[in-house]
Structure 1
Protein backbone atom coordinates (compact mmCIF):
# COMPACT_ATOMS: atom_id res chain seq x y z
CA UNK A 1 0.00 0.00 0.00
CA UNK A 2 1.42 3.35 -1.05
CA UNK A 3 0.26 6.83 -0.10
CA UNK A 4 -0.56 9.07 -3.04
CA UNK A 5 -0.37 12.87 -3.05
CA UNK A 6 -3.13 14.51 -5.07
CA UNK A 7 -3.50 18.15 -6.20
CA UNK A 8 -5.85 20.58 -4.46
CA UNK A 9 -8.32 20.46 -7.36
CA UNK A 10 -8.94 16.78 -6.56
CA UNK A 11 -11.19 18.00 -3.75
CA UNK A 12 -13.65 19.22 -6.40
CA UNK A 13 -13.35 15.90 -8.25
CA UNK A 14 -14.21 13.98 -5.05
CA UNK A 15 -17.31 16.11 -4.66
CA UNK A 16 -18.35 15.49 -8.26
CA UNK A 17 -17.72 11.75 -7.99
CA UNK A 18 -19.79 11.51 -4.83
CA UNK A 19 -22.74 13.35 -6.39
CA UNK A 20 -22.50 11.41 -9.66
CA UNK A 21 -22.37 8.03 -7.92
CA UNK A 22 -25.29 8.98 -5.68
CA UNK A 23 -27.32 9.87 -8.76
CA UNK A 24 -26.80 6.35 -10.11
CA UNK A 25 -28.72 4.88 -7.13
CA UNK A 26 -30.39 7.82 -5.30
CA UNK A 27 -33.08 5.78 -3.57
CA UNK A 28 -30.61 3.11 -2.48
CA UNK A 29 -28.15 5.58 -0.96
CA UNK A 30 -30.86 7.67 0.69
CA UNK A 31 -32.39 4.53 2.15
CA UNK A 32 -29.05 3.22 3.37
CA UNK A 33 -28.20 6.52 5.03
CA UNK A 34 -31.65 6.67 6.64
CA UNK A 35 -31.20 3.12 7.99
CA UNK A 36 -27.76 4.07 9.30
CA UNK A 37 -29.08 7.17 11.08
CA UNK A 38 -32.16 5.36 12.41
CA UNK A 39 -30.07 2.55 13.89
CA UNK A 40 -27.67 4.99 15.55
CA UNK A 41 -30.55 7.09 16.90
CA UNK A 42 -32.38 4.08 18.33
CA UNK A 43 -29.25 2.78 20.02
CA UNK A 44 -28.64 6.20 21.54
CA UNK A 45 -31.98 5.95 23.33
CA UNK A 46 -30.76 3.04 25.47
CA UNK A 47 -29.91 4.26 28.99
CA UNK A 48 -26.22 4.55 29.93
CA UNK A 49 -24.77 2.16 27.32
CA UNK A 50 -26.72 3.40 24.29
CA UNK A 51 -24.56 6.38 23.35
CA UNK A 52 -21.17 4.58 23.70
CA UNK A 53 -22.44 1.66 21.59
CA UNK A 54 -23.81 4.01 18.93
CA UNK A 55 -20.50 5.88 18.79
CA UNK A 56 -18.54 2.62 18.58
CA UNK A 57 -20.60 1.56 15.55
CA UNK A 58 -19.97 4.75 13.58
CA UNK A 59 -16.67 3.62 11.95
CA UNK A 60 -18.27 0.36 10.77
CA UNK A 61 -21.37 2.19 9.54
CA UNK A 62 -19.21 4.66 7.61
CA UNK A 63 -17.35 1.71 6.09
CA UNK A 64 -20.69 0.24 5.06
CA UNK A 65 -21.59 3.37 3.12
CA UNK A 66 -18.15 3.37 1.49
CA UNK A 67 -18.63 -0.27 0.49
CA UNK A 68 -22.02 0.65 -0.99
CA UNK A 69 -20.30 3.35 -3.02
CA UNK A 70 -17.74 0.85 -4.31
CA UNK A 71 -20.59 -1.42 -5.44
CA UNK A 72 -22.57 1.39 -7.09
CA UNK A 73 -19.44 2.69 -8.80
CA UNK A 74 -19.20 -0.71 -10.52
CA UNK A 75 -22.75 -0.35 -11.79
CA UNK A 76 -24.32 -2.71 -9.27
CA UNK A 77 -27.13 -2.17 -6.75
CA UNK A 78 -26.01 -1.89 -3.08
CA UNK A 79 -28.20 -4.09 -0.90
CA UNK A 80 -29.00 -3.18 2.74
CA UNK A 81 -26.65 -5.85 4.16
CA UNK A 82 -23.70 -3.87 2.82
CA UNK A 83 -24.05 -1.65 5.90
CA UNK A 84 -22.62 -4.48 8.03
CA UNK A 85 -19.81 -5.30 5.60
CA UNK A 86 -17.30 -4.38 8.29
CA UNK A 87 -18.53 -7.27 10.43
CA UNK A 88 -18.57 -9.87 7.65
CA UNK A 89 -14.93 -9.93 6.55
CA UNK A 90 -13.58 -12.60 8.88
CA UNK A 91 -12.82 -12.88 12.58
CA UNK A 92 -9.55 -10.94 12.52
CA UNK A 93 -10.98 -7.92 10.71
CA UNK A 94 -14.12 -8.07 12.81
CA UNK A 95 -11.99 -7.77 15.94
CA UNK A 96 -10.04 -4.89 14.40
CA UNK A 97 -13.25 -3.07 13.48
CA UNK A 98 -14.56 -3.51 17.04
CA UNK A 99 -11.30 -2.12 18.46
CA UNK A 100 -11.52 0.79 16.04
CA UNK A 101 -15.07 1.50 17.17
CA UNK A 102 -14.10 1.42 20.85
CA UNK A 103 -11.21 3.84 20.18
CA UNK A 104 -13.55 6.20 18.36
CA UNK A 105 -16.11 6.10 21.18
CA UNK A 106 -13.43 6.74 23.81
CA UNK A 107 -11.95 9.61 21.80
CA UNK A 108 -15.32 11.25 21.21
CA UNK A 109 -16.45 10.92 24.82
CA UNK A 110 -13.08 12.30 25.96
CA UNK A 111 -13.39 15.44 23.82
CA UNK A 112 -16.95 15.93 25.05
CA UNK A 113 -15.63 15.57 28.59
CA UNK A 114 -13.12 18.34 27.92
CA UNK A 115 -15.88 20.60 26.59
CA UNK A 116 -17.95 19.80 29.71
CA UNK A 117 -15.30 21.40 31.90
CA UNK A 118 -16.11 24.72 30.22
CA UNK A 119 -19.92 24.88 30.44
CA UNK A 120 -20.75 22.22 33.01
CA UNK A 121 -21.74 19.70 30.35
CA UNK A 122 -24.59 21.63 28.71
CA UNK A 123 -23.25 21.24 25.18
CA UNK A 124 -22.40 17.57 25.74
CA UNK A 125 -25.93 16.85 27.01
CA UNK A 126 -27.51 18.57 24.04
CA UNK A 127 -25.26 16.82 21.53
CA UNK A 128 -25.19 13.33 23.02
CA UNK A 129 -28.56 13.03 24.73
CA UNK A 130 -30.74 15.49 22.85
CA UNK A 131 -31.10 17.88 25.74
CA UNK A 132 -33.23 21.00 25.50
CA UNK A 133 -31.72 23.66 23.25
CA UNK A 134 -33.24 27.08 23.93
CA UNK A 135 -32.11 30.47 22.58
CA UNK A 136 -31.01 31.42 26.09
CA UNK A 137 -28.70 28.39 26.27
CA UNK A 138 -27.25 28.96 22.79
CA UNK A 139 -26.43 32.60 23.59
CA UNK A 140 -24.49 31.71 26.73
CA UNK A 141 -20.76 32.40 26.33
CA UNK A 142 -19.72 29.18 28.06
CA UNK A 143 -21.97 27.10 25.82
CA UNK A 144 -20.56 28.70 22.67
CA UNK A 145 -16.99 28.24 23.90
CA UNK A 146 -17.64 24.59 24.73
CA UNK A 147 -19.12 24.02 21.27
CA UNK A 148 -16.11 25.68 19.63
CA UNK A 149 -13.64 23.63 21.67
CA UNK A 150 -15.50 20.42 20.77
CA UNK A 151 -15.37 21.33 17.07
CA UNK A 152 -11.64 22.09 17.22
CA UNK A 153 -10.90 18.84 19.06
CA UNK A 154 -13.06 16.83 16.66
CA UNK A 155 -10.90 17.82 13.68
CA UNK A 156 -7.86 15.67 14.63
CA UNK A 157 -10.23 12.85 15.65
CA UNK A 158 -11.88 12.93 12.24
CA UNK A 159 -8.49 12.87 10.49
CA UNK A 160 -7.49 9.78 12.45
CA UNK A 161 -10.68 7.91 11.53
CA UNK A 162 -11.28 9.24 8.00
CA UNK A 163 -9.60 6.33 6.19
CA UNK A 164 -9.11 3.97 9.13
CA UNK A 165 -12.24 1.80 8.63
CA UNK A 166 -11.40 1.28 4.96
CA UNK A 167 -7.77 0.42 5.73
CA UNK A 168 -8.84 -2.12 8.36
CA UNK A 169 -11.52 -3.66 6.15
CA UNK A 170 -9.89 -3.74 2.72
CA UNK A 171 -6.21 -4.02 3.66
CA UNK A 172 -6.24 -5.83 7.00
CA UNK A 173 -4.16 -3.13 8.69
CA UNK A 174 -4.20 -3.07 12.50
CA UNK A 175 -6.41 -0.40 14.12
CA UNK A 176 -3.54 1.69 15.51
CA UNK A 177 -1.61 1.66 12.22
CA UNK A 178 -4.77 2.50 10.29
CA UNK A 179 -5.26 5.60 12.44
CA UNK A 180 -1.68 6.68 11.76
CA UNK A 181 -1.91 6.11 8.01
CA UNK A 182 -5.27 7.88 7.87
CA UNK A 183 -3.94 10.99 9.61
CA UNK A 184 -0.82 11.05 7.42
CA UNK A 185 -2.89 10.71 4.24
CA UNK A 186 -5.16 13.59 5.26
CA UNK A 187 -2.28 15.85 6.27
CA UNK A 188 -0.20 15.10 3.18
CA UNK A 189 -3.25 15.92 1.06
CA UNK A 190 -4.20 18.91 3.19
CA UNK A 191 -5.16 21.24 0.33
CA UNK A 192 -7.26 18.65 -1.47
CA UNK A 193 -9.22 17.96 1.71
CA UNK A 194 -9.52 21.70 2.39
CA UNK A 195 -11.04 22.27 -1.04
CA UNK A 196 -13.25 19.21 -0.55
CA UNK A 197 -14.57 20.58 2.74
CA UNK A 198 -15.13 24.08 1.34
CA UNK A 199 -17.05 22.77 -1.67
CA UNK A 200 -19.32 20.68 0.54
CA UNK A 201 -19.89 23.60 2.92
CA UNK A 202 -20.87 25.75 -0.05
CA UNK A 203 -23.19 23.01 -1.33
CA UNK A 204 -24.99 22.62 2.01
CA UNK A 205 -25.25 26.38 2.44
CA UNK A 206 -26.54 26.77 -1.13
CA UNK A 207 -29.26 24.15 -0.62
CA UNK A 208 -30.35 25.71 2.70
CA UNK A 209 -30.44 29.17 1.13
CA UNK A 210 -32.40 27.90 -1.86
CA UNK A 211 -34.98 26.25 0.40
CA UNK A 212 -35.32 29.45 2.46
CA UNK A 213 -35.91 31.48 -0.72
CA UNK A 214 -38.54 29.05 -2.02
CA UNK A 215 -40.35 29.03 1.33
CA UNK A 216 -40.31 32.83 1.53
CA UNK A 217 -41.70 33.12 -2.01
CA UNK A 218 -44.47 30.62 -1.29
CA UNK A 219 -45.16 32.28 2.05
CA UNK A 220 -45.59 29.00 3.91
CA UNK A 221 -43.07 28.52 6.71
CA UNK A 222 -44.39 25.03 7.46
CA UNK A 223 -42.98 23.85 4.13
CA UNK A 224 -39.39 24.33 5.28
CA UNK A 225 -39.24 21.03 7.19
CA UNK A 226 -41.10 19.15 4.46
CA UNK A 227 -38.56 20.33 1.88
CA UNK A 228 -35.40 20.51 3.97
CA UNK A 229 -35.58 17.04 5.56
CA UNK A 230 -35.49 14.94 2.35
CA UNK A 231 -33.00 17.30 0.73
CA UNK A 232 -30.78 17.23 3.82
CA UNK A 233 -30.96 13.43 3.89
CA UNK A 234 -29.95 13.22 0.23
CA UNK A 235 -27.12 15.75 0.68
CA UNK A 236 -25.74 13.88 3.69
CA UNK A 237 -25.88 10.62 1.73
CA UNK A 238 -23.96 12.28 -1.13
CA UNK A 239 -21.37 13.52 1.35
CA UNK A 240 -20.76 10.04 2.75
CA UNK A 241 -20.72 8.64 -0.78
CA UNK A 242 -17.79 10.90 -1.63
CA UNK A 243 -15.76 9.43 1.27
CA UNK A 244 -14.92 6.36 -0.81
CA UNK A 245 -13.26 8.40 -3.54
CA UNK A 246 -11.04 10.30 -1.09
CA UNK A 247 -9.81 6.93 0.20
CA UNK A 248 -9.36 5.42 -3.25
CA UNK A 249 -7.23 8.32 -4.49
CA UNK A 250 -5.06 8.60 -1.36
CA UNK A 251 -3.99 4.93 -1.44
CA UNK A 252 -2.96 3.22 -4.66
CA UNK A 253 -3.50 -0.40 -3.59
CA UNK A 254 -6.63 -1.82 -5.25
CA UNK A 255 -9.38 -2.73 -2.82
CA UNK A 256 -10.50 -6.28 -2.31
CA UNK A 257 -14.01 -7.39 -3.25
CA UNK A 258 -16.51 -6.34 -0.59
CA UNK A 259 -18.14 -9.40 0.99
Structure 2
Protein backbone atom coordinates (compact mmCIF):
# COMPACT_ATOMS: atom_id res chain seq x y z
CA UNK A 1 0.00 0.00 0.00
CA UNK A 2 1.37 3.41 -1.04
CA UNK A 3 1.74 6.23 1.43
CA UNK A 4 -1.06 8.80 1.46
CA UNK A 5 -0.19 12.23 0.02
CA UNK A 6 0.21 15.11 2.48
CA UNK A 7 -3.02 16.74 1.25
CA UNK A 8 -4.95 13.80 2.68
CA UNK A 9 -4.70 15.53 6.06
CA UNK A 10 -6.91 18.33 4.72
CA UNK A 11 -9.24 15.80 3.07
CA UNK A 12 -9.80 14.18 6.49
CA UNK A 13 -10.95 17.54 7.85
CA UNK A 14 -13.25 18.15 4.87
CA UNK A 15 -14.80 14.71 5.32
CA UNK A 16 -15.27 15.47 9.02
CA UNK A 17 -17.19 18.64 8.09
CA UNK A 18 -19.25 16.64 5.58
CA UNK A 19 -20.24 14.10 8.24
CA UNK A 20 -21.15 16.88 10.66
CA UNK A 21 -23.33 18.68 8.10
CA UNK A 22 -25.49 15.58 7.62
CA UNK A 23 -26.61 15.41 11.26
CA UNK A 24 -25.29 18.50 13.09
CA UNK A 25 -27.94 18.59 15.83
CA UNK A 26 -27.80 14.86 16.51
CA UNK A 27 -24.04 14.50 16.83
CA UNK A 28 -23.79 17.77 18.79
CA UNK A 29 -26.36 16.37 21.22
CA UNK A 30 -24.22 13.23 21.55
CA UNK A 31 -21.21 15.41 22.35
CA UNK A 32 -23.10 17.50 24.92
CA UNK A 33 -24.37 14.31 26.58
CA UNK A 34 -20.76 13.11 26.75
CA UNK A 35 -19.61 16.39 28.31
CA UNK A 36 -22.44 16.29 30.85
CA UNK A 37 -21.47 12.74 31.82
CA UNK A 38 -17.82 13.77 32.23
CA UNK A 39 -18.88 16.62 34.55
CA UNK A 40 -21.06 14.20 36.53
CA UNK A 41 -18.10 11.83 36.97
CA UNK A 42 -16.09 14.66 38.55
CA UNK A 43 -18.44 14.49 41.53
CA UNK A 44 -16.95 11.12 42.50
CA UNK A 45 -14.02 11.67 44.92
CA UNK A 46 -10.60 10.73 43.48
CA UNK A 47 -12.03 8.38 40.82
CA UNK A 48 -13.79 11.37 39.28
CA UNK A 49 -10.39 12.73 38.29
CA UNK A 50 -9.21 9.44 36.78
CA UNK A 51 -12.29 7.93 35.12
CA UNK A 52 -12.70 10.57 32.37
CA UNK A 53 -9.26 9.68 31.00
CA UNK A 54 -9.64 5.92 31.48
CA UNK A 55 -12.98 6.00 29.65
CA UNK A 56 -11.68 7.99 26.67
CA UNK A 57 -11.31 4.91 24.38
CA UNK A 58 -14.80 3.66 25.34
CA UNK A 59 -16.48 6.97 24.53
CA UNK A 60 -14.27 7.54 21.48
CA UNK A 61 -15.94 4.55 19.89
CA UNK A 62 -19.33 6.19 20.46
CA UNK A 63 -18.32 8.98 18.08
CA UNK A 64 -16.69 6.59 15.63
CA UNK A 65 -19.89 4.54 15.52
CA UNK A 66 -21.92 7.74 15.17
CA UNK A 67 -19.91 8.51 12.03
CA UNK A 68 -20.65 5.02 10.70
CA UNK A 69 -24.37 5.62 11.33
CA UNK A 70 -24.27 8.97 9.55
CA UNK A 71 -22.45 7.42 6.61
CA UNK A 72 -25.08 4.67 6.40
CA UNK A 73 -27.99 7.11 6.68
CA UNK A 74 -28.95 6.01 10.20
CA UNK A 75 -29.94 8.39 12.99
CA UNK A 76 -27.48 9.24 15.77
CA UNK A 77 -28.99 9.04 19.26
CA UNK A 78 -27.43 9.78 22.68
CA UNK A 79 -27.66 6.09 23.62
CA UNK A 80 -24.66 5.54 21.34
CA UNK A 81 -22.61 6.65 24.35
CA UNK A 82 -23.18 3.16 25.74
CA UNK A 83 -22.06 1.22 22.67
CA UNK A 84 -18.54 0.69 24.02
CA UNK A 85 -19.91 -0.60 27.32
CA UNK A 86 -21.99 -3.18 25.45
CA UNK A 87 -19.05 -4.34 23.34
CA UNK A 88 -17.15 -7.59 24.02
CA UNK A 89 -14.05 -5.40 23.66
CA UNK A 90 -14.92 -3.35 26.78
CA UNK A 91 -12.22 -4.95 28.94
CA UNK A 92 -9.49 -4.20 26.40
CA UNK A 93 -10.79 -0.66 25.90
CA UNK A 94 -10.54 -0.08 29.66
CA UNK A 95 -7.00 -1.48 29.68
CA UNK A 96 -6.18 0.92 26.86
CA UNK A 97 -7.71 3.77 28.87
CA UNK A 98 -5.54 2.87 31.84
CA UNK A 99 -2.50 3.12 29.56
CA UNK A 100 -3.77 6.56 28.47
CA UNK A 101 -3.71 7.59 32.11
CA UNK A 102 -0.21 6.23 32.74
CA UNK A 103 1.16 7.94 29.63
CA UNK A 104 -0.45 11.25 30.58
CA UNK A 105 0.96 11.11 34.12
CA UNK A 106 4.45 10.35 32.80
CA UNK A 107 4.25 13.20 30.26
CA UNK A 108 3.10 15.77 32.83
CA UNK A 109 5.59 14.52 35.43
CA UNK A 110 8.38 14.97 32.88
CA UNK A 111 7.66 18.72 32.89
CA UNK A 112 9.32 18.91 36.32
CA UNK A 113 12.64 18.80 34.45
CA UNK A 114 11.79 22.12 32.80
CA UNK A 115 9.92 24.28 35.32
CA UNK A 116 10.68 22.61 38.65
CA UNK A 117 7.14 21.30 39.08
CA UNK A 118 4.96 24.38 38.42
CA UNK A 119 2.98 22.73 35.60
CA UNK A 120 2.69 19.49 37.59
CA UNK A 121 1.32 21.28 40.66
CA UNK A 122 -1.11 23.26 38.51
CA UNK A 123 -2.48 20.15 36.78
CA UNK A 124 -2.74 18.10 39.95
CA UNK A 125 -4.20 20.97 41.97
CA UNK A 126 -1.55 20.72 44.68
CA UNK A 127 -1.23 24.48 44.92
CA UNK A 128 -3.03 27.56 43.68
CA UNK A 129 -0.48 29.57 41.73
CA UNK A 130 -1.13 33.20 40.93
CA UNK A 131 -0.64 34.71 37.50
CA UNK A 132 2.73 36.25 38.38
CA UNK A 133 4.18 32.93 39.60
CA UNK A 134 3.08 31.24 36.39
CA UNK A 135 4.45 34.09 34.27
CA UNK A 136 7.81 34.00 36.03
CA UNK A 137 8.10 30.24 35.58
CA UNK A 138 8.91 28.20 32.47
CA UNK A 139 5.47 26.60 32.45
CA UNK A 140 4.80 27.30 28.75
CA UNK A 141 8.02 25.55 27.80
CA UNK A 142 7.18 22.74 30.24
CA UNK A 143 3.79 22.24 28.57
CA UNK A 144 5.47 21.96 25.16
CA UNK A 145 7.96 19.49 26.60
CA UNK A 146 5.13 17.38 28.07
CA UNK A 147 3.38 17.41 24.69
CA UNK A 148 6.57 16.20 23.01
CA UNK A 149 6.97 13.40 25.58
CA UNK A 150 3.34 12.36 25.05
CA UNK A 151 3.55 12.39 21.22
CA UNK A 152 4.77 8.76 20.79
CA UNK A 153 1.96 7.60 23.10
CA UNK A 154 -0.57 9.63 21.11
CA UNK A 155 0.62 7.89 17.94
CA UNK A 156 0.29 4.50 19.61
CA UNK A 157 -3.22 5.26 20.89
CA UNK A 158 -4.63 7.06 17.82
CA UNK A 159 -6.10 3.99 16.10
CA UNK A 160 -5.91 1.57 19.01
CA UNK A 161 -9.56 1.81 20.13
CA UNK A 162 -11.16 1.12 16.70
CA UNK A 163 -8.62 -1.60 15.99
CA UNK A 164 -9.55 -3.28 19.27
CA UNK A 165 -13.30 -2.95 18.77
CA UNK A 166 -13.65 -3.32 14.99
CA UNK A 167 -10.77 -5.65 14.16
CA UNK A 168 -10.74 -7.63 17.43
CA UNK A 169 -7.05 -6.92 18.02
CA UNK A 170 -5.38 -7.33 21.39
CA UNK A 171 -4.30 -4.16 23.17
CA UNK A 172 -0.61 -4.66 22.40
CA UNK A 173 -1.24 -5.48 18.72
CA UNK A 174 -3.57 -2.49 18.29
CA UNK A 175 -1.00 -0.15 19.85
CA UNK A 176 1.72 -1.57 17.58
CA UNK A 177 -0.34 -1.18 14.40
CA UNK A 178 -1.52 2.29 15.41
CA UNK A 179 1.98 3.60 16.08
CA UNK A 180 3.39 2.44 12.77
CA UNK A 181 0.30 3.48 10.80
CA UNK A 182 0.67 7.04 12.10
CA UNK A 183 4.45 6.93 11.59
CA UNK A 184 3.92 5.90 7.97
CA UNK A 185 1.54 8.79 7.28
CA UNK A 186 3.38 11.55 9.13
CA UNK A 187 3.04 14.02 6.24
CA UNK A 188 -0.73 13.66 6.17
CA UNK A 189 -0.92 13.95 9.96
CA UNK A 190 1.31 17.03 9.91
CA UNK A 191 -1.10 18.77 7.51
CA UNK A 192 -4.05 17.54 9.57
CA UNK A 193 -2.60 18.88 12.83
CA UNK A 194 -1.47 22.22 11.39
CA UNK A 195 -4.82 22.75 9.67
CA UNK A 196 -6.73 22.10 12.89
CA UNK A 197 -4.39 24.43 14.79
CA UNK A 198 -5.10 27.15 12.23
CA UNK A 199 -8.85 26.57 12.32
CA UNK A 200 -8.99 26.39 16.09
CA UNK A 201 -6.90 29.51 16.70
CA UNK A 202 -7.24 31.79 13.68
CA UNK A 203 -10.98 31.41 13.05
CA UNK A 204 -12.13 32.33 16.60
CA UNK A 205 -9.55 35.16 16.67
CA UNK A 206 -10.82 36.55 13.38
CA UNK A 207 -14.44 36.38 14.53
CA UNK A 208 -13.53 38.09 17.82
CA UNK A 209 -11.87 40.95 15.95
CA UNK A 210 -14.83 41.37 13.59
CA UNK A 211 -17.33 41.42 16.47
CA UNK A 212 -15.15 43.87 18.42
CA UNK A 213 -15.03 46.22 15.43
CA UNK A 214 -18.71 45.99 14.51
CA UNK A 215 -20.36 45.63 17.92
CA UNK A 216 -17.75 45.93 20.65
CA UNK A 217 -19.72 43.80 23.09
CA UNK A 218 -17.89 41.04 25.01
CA UNK A 219 -21.13 39.21 25.80
CA UNK A 220 -22.00 38.92 22.10
CA UNK A 221 -18.51 37.59 21.41
CA UNK A 222 -18.95 34.86 24.02
CA UNK A 223 -22.45 34.00 22.75
CA UNK A 224 -21.02 33.43 19.26
CA UNK A 225 -17.68 31.81 20.13
CA UNK A 226 -19.10 29.26 22.60
CA UNK A 227 -21.36 27.43 20.09
CA UNK A 228 -18.65 27.83 17.44
CA UNK A 229 -16.11 26.15 19.73
CA UNK A 230 -18.53 23.29 20.41
CA UNK A 231 -19.25 22.86 16.70
CA UNK A 232 -15.54 22.83 15.79
CA UNK A 233 -14.82 20.29 18.52
CA UNK A 234 -17.58 18.01 17.22
CA UNK A 235 -16.28 18.37 13.65
CA UNK A 236 -12.81 17.43 14.91
CA UNK A 237 -14.31 14.31 16.51
CA UNK A 238 -15.99 13.51 13.19
CA UNK A 239 -12.69 13.92 11.35
CA UNK A 240 -11.11 11.13 13.42
CA UNK A 241 -13.26 8.63 11.51
CA UNK A 242 -11.87 9.33 8.00
CA UNK A 243 -8.33 9.13 9.37
CA UNK A 244 -9.19 5.51 10.17
CA UNK A 245 -11.08 4.60 6.99
CA UNK A 246 -8.40 5.98 4.64
CA UNK A 247 -5.88 3.57 6.16
CA UNK A 248 -7.82 0.58 7.50
CA UNK A 249 -10.97 0.72 5.36
CA UNK A 250 -14.63 0.93 6.29
CA UNK A 251 -15.53 -0.86 9.54
CA UNK A 252 -18.33 -2.84 7.89
CA UNK A 253 -15.63 -4.64 5.91
CA UNK A 254 -14.39 -6.02 9.22
CA UNK A 255 -17.72 -7.68 10.03
CA UNK A 256 -18.26 -11.36 9.21
CA UNK A 257 -20.15 -11.95 5.96
CA UNK A 258 -23.87 -12.65 6.35
CA UNK A 259 -24.81 -16.30 6.53
CA UNK A 260 -26.76 -17.54 3.48
CA UNK A 261 -30.40 -18.14 4.25
CA UNK A 262 -31.82 -21.60 3.74
CA UNK A 263 -34.10 -21.83 0.75
CA UNK A 264 -36.95 -24.24 0.23
CA UNK A 265 -37.97 -25.73 -3.07
CA UNK A 266 -41.34 -26.98 -4.08
CA UNK A 267 -41.82 -29.79 -6.45
Length-normalised TM-score, structure 2: 0.86
Pick one of 126, 133, 140 that aligns with 2:136. Answer: 140
Contact 2:93 2:161 in 1 (8 A): yes
Per-residue deviation, 1:129: 5.0
The corresponding residue for 1:42 is: 40
Per-residue deviation, 1:131: 7.4
Instruction: State the distance in 2 between where 1:23 and 1:140 align.
Output: 45
Change (3 A) 1:44 1:213: same
Answering whether residue 225 of structure 2 is matched by residue 228 of structure 1, we say yes
Pick one of 9, 25, 43 that aligns with 1:11. Answer: 9
Deviations along 1:228-248, one digit per CA (max 9) or x if unpaired, are: 111101100000100011011
Change (3 A) 1:145 1:200: closer
Change (3 A) 1:55 1:192: same
Pick one of 240, 245, 248 that aligns with 2:237. Answer: 240
Pick one of 97, 106, 123 that aligns with 1:110. Answer: 106
Contact 2:110 2:149 in 1 (8 A): no
The corresponding residue for 2:158 is: 162
Answering whether residue 171 of structure 2 is matched by residue 175 of structure 1, we say yes
Change (3 A) 1:129 1:44: farther
Change (3 A) 1:49 1:88: same
For structure 1, the 5+ residue unaligned runs are: none
Secondary structure of the 2:217 match is coil
The corresponding residue for 1:191 is: 187
Answering whether residue 86 of structure 2 is matched by residue 82 of structure 1, we say no
Instruction: State the distance in 2 between where 1:127 and 1:211 align.
Output: 30
Alignment length, in residue pairs?
253
Change (3 A) 1:108 1:66: same
Per-residue deviation, 1:122: 3.4
Instruction: State the distance in 2 between where 1:255 and 1:131 align.
Output: 49
Instruction: State the distance in 2 between where 1:131 and 1:223 align.
Output: 34
Instruction: Please identify the structure whose Cα radius of gyration is greater.
Output: 2
Contact 1:60 1:86 in 2 (8 A): yes
Deviations along 1:179-229, one digit per CA (max 9) or x if unpaired, are: 111111101011111111111112112321232123212111222222111
Answering whether residue 236 of structure 2 is matched by residue 251 of structure 1, we say no
Contact 2:61 2:161 in 1 (8 A): yes
Secondary structure of the 2:172 match is helix
